Chain A
Amino acid sequence: MKILVCISHVPDTTSKINFTEENTKFDSNGVQFVINPNDEFGLTRAMWFKEKQGAEVTVVNVGTSETEPTLRKALAIGADGAIRINTPATNSFSVAKQLANVAKDGAYDLIIAGRESIDYNGGMVPGMLAALIDANFVNNCINLDVEGSDAKATREIDGGKETVSTTLPLVIGGQKGLVEESDLRIPNMRGIMMARKKPLTVVEANETSKETTSISFEKPTPKGAVKLVASDNIDELVNLLHNEAKVI
């Protein structure tokens, strides 16, 4: 089985988010980047397929050379090869189109993407990618097993789970549940040394049209301080809700 894991390179969840150039650009100064958490769950599941079922795992990213440390980390964790599509990841549709080219060229059986990336939270790439390459698609995937060309996937639905059967080629939008946090791997020294010799192929983007362009970003207004009202002081609570918060 040939697996392609789509990896996006996102700010660490503890990063302080700021914008520059009059709120049109993300300020990456001093920000630590990591493998998108949803993708990391997928990558870890892919490693399981590699170790238990002999799958071959390639990771792919659409991005500029700054994303290479993230791909190297995926190689150190155990992916066999990496591909970087050399163009900034600007909007979901163009990212999906770039990924589709690589996916078709490599004839992958299973493509594992994250349900969404935690930077711009578009959540559209996996579905678009599946449509572009005409593969089956399961989103919000929390469990995946593959036998030959048959796959059984469980996805999260409102208030429960649904298990579906489908066939390869398949694209999933993965998330926590594919594996648990405690299964996530820390690259070990041997992995880091081996990653030096693994291929990281850079391919040029063959189309960079932008269907949507960001105009500006805005941060949510910071939360104010919490006021505690004694549980027997209903009058004060009503007064505050009415006169200060103006919600009743």
Chain B
Amino acid sequence: MKPDLFEAPDYYNLDELLTDEHKLVRDAAREWVKREVSPIIEEYAQKAEFPTQIINGLAEIGAFGPYIPMEYGGAGLDQISYGLIMQEIERGDSGVRSTASVQSSLVMYPIWKYGNEEQRQKYLPKLASGEWIGCFGLTEPDHGSNPGGMVTNFKDKGDHYLLNGAKMWISNAPFAQVAIVWAKDETGRIHGLIVERGMEGFTTPETHNKWSLRASATGELIFDNVKVPKENLLPNKSGLGAPLGCLDSARYGIAWGAIGAAMDCYDTALRYSKERMQFGKPIGQFQLQQKKLAEMITEITKAQLLTWRLGVLRNHGKATSAQISMAKRNNVDMAINIAREARQMLGGMGITGEYSIMRHSMNLESVITYEGTHDIHLLITGLDITGLNAFK
């Protein structure tokens, strides 16, 4: 793997829109990724293993629930800081960012927002410090884009709930201590349950042979008559809106994260284009290559502005789910296209793991699929602007 020479593009001086603290948080994450993630990530992606040794460092840079209040072990930062941390981590690898997104937005967020005080005190500090890793079980084998159709369910047995069903494609599942599981009660209403590793009947087989997010562990959650204590039900919100609220937070982070992956591909291709000589010239001197680079930086700049504005809206509690869908869809698509173009600019070198581009390119195939596919986000925008529901 080549040394990480990353220099972040900021074509419109967007740094001027950030506070000093935003920049401090971002630069710390950036330095940490250079030091701890870049040197090892290729090896872990190749061997399809999550690098557990970086969990501590992720916690230190605030990747686990940066916007969670300090009393629960979070950092009490704003949404732009959260976004910037996700951007920097995904600049390193989307798989590592996935672990941080799941922990922050899909595990800590619902405990903080939908849990009671005892649940917050019990789980949040350990999740913020990385002592516990969590996962989020919504998708099922037969219910992906349509999670409302889920069949995982629980029955009230007086002193406990009895949980049955299965979840699929769950990030962090193979090693998570805690799972936020979405399941229907006897009336068909969706609730969140906190399931802990070690509960009888609960297993988490790993999903093998992924060609994407290889440095992130994915697995199933299988519930075979699992007795869940009643105090493990998240009491303060139910219905499909509860998991969707978590997804809003995670998708927002992904919109930033995708910019990180795109920046890394662009920066690598730009540097390579000035060094690689063909026909007696650096390839960056050929118009076709300049077109690619110019379009990349244009798209990155547009995505940066979109996402910064979304961050301001979120800081004021005013970002709608549809606005978040637009940013997630646009930015991931932007990143995947940049990864493909950048890959071509490196010729054969772009095929090897010596450069990060092919890894980003493959990772982004998952990112464009999870947390709502590219199509589904388009339909959300369609519904929002026409008022006509294409899902039904």
Measured between beta carbons, the chain A residues less than 8 angstroms from B21 are 72, 192, 196
- Is B144 in the interface zone, CB < 8 Å from A? no
Q: Among B7, B28, B35, which residue has its beta carbon within 8 angstroms of that of A192?
A: B28
- Is B76 in the interface zone, CB < 8 Å from A? yes
Q: Is the CB of A69 within 8 A of B76?
A: no
Measured between beta carbons, the chain B residues less than 8 angstroms from A72 are 20-21, 24
> Interface SS of chain B: helix, strand, loop or mixed?
helix
Measured between beta carbons, the chain A residues less than 8 angstroms from B20 are 68-69, 72
Tell me the chain B residues, 55-89 only, with Cβ under 8 Å from chain A.
60-62, 66, 70, 75-76
Binds B, one of A54-62, A83-91, A181-189, A239-247: A181-189
Q: Is the CB of A189 within 8 A of B75?
A: yes
Q: Which residue of chain A is the closest to B21 with respect to CB atoms?
A: A192
Q: Is the CB of A188 within 8 A of B24?
A: no
Q: Contact mask B226-251 → A, CB, 8 Å, 1/0? A: 00000000000000000000000000
- Is B25 in the interface zone, CB < 8 Å from A? yes
Q: How far is the CA of A72 from the CA of B27 in the complex (A)?
A: 13
Q: Is the CB of A188 within 8 A of B70?
A: no
- Is A73 in the interface zone, CB < 8 Å from B? yes
Tell me the chain A residues, 171-187 only, with Cβ under 8 Å from chain B.
186-187
* Min CB–CB distance A59 → chain B (angstroms): 15
Instruction: Please judge, given known A-B contacts A69-B20, A69-B24, A73-B24, whether A193 and B32 are in contact too, CB under 8 Å.
Output: no
Q: Is the CB of B75 within 8 A of A76?
A: no
Q: Is the CB of A189 within 8 A of B60?
A: yes
Number of interface residues of B (CB under 8 A): 20
Q: How far is the CA of A193 from the CA of B20 in the complex (A)?
A: 13
Q: How far is the CA of A4 from the CA of B62 in the complex (A)?
A: 29
* Min CB–CB distance A6 → chain B (angstroms): 21
With most chain B CB atoms within 10 A of its CB, the pick from A68, A73, A186, A192 is A186
Instruction: Please judge, given known A-B contacts A69-B23, A72-B20, whether A193 and B13 are in contact too, CB under 8 Å.
Output: no
Q: Is the CB of B60 within 8 A of A188?
A: yes
Q: Among B27, B61, B76, which residue has its beta carbon within 8 angstroms of that of A188?
A: B61
Q: Is the CB of B7 within 8 A of A193?
A: no
Q: Is the CB of B35 within 8 A of A189?
A: no
Q: Is the CB of A186 within 8 A of B32?
A: yes
Q: Is the CB of A186 within 8 A of B13?
A: no
Q: How far is the CA of A192 from the CA of B75 in the complex (A)?
A: 9
- Is A30 in the interface zone, CB < 8 Å from B? yes
Q: Which residue of chain A is the closest to B74 with respect to CB atoms?
A: A189
Could you write out 16 A-B pairs with CB less than 8 Å apart?
A: A30-B10, A69-B20, A69-B24, A72-B20, A72-B21, A76-B24, A76-B28, A187-B24, A187-B28, A188-B60, A189-B28, A189-B60, A192-B21, A192-B28, A192-B62, A192-B75
List residues of B whose CB falls within 8 A of some A CB: 7, 10, 13, 20-21, 23-25, 27-28, 31-32, 35, 60-62, 66, 70, 75-76
7 A-B pairs with the lowest CB-CB distances in the bound complex, closest first: A189-B62, A188-B60, A69-B20, A189-B75, A186-B31, A187-B28, A186-B32
Seed contacts A76-B24, A188-B62; 5 additional CB < 8 Å A-B pairs: A72-B20, A187-B28, A189-B60, A189-B62, A192-B24
List residues of A whose CB falls within 8 A of some B CB: 14, 30, 68-69, 72-73, 76, 186-190, 192-193, 196
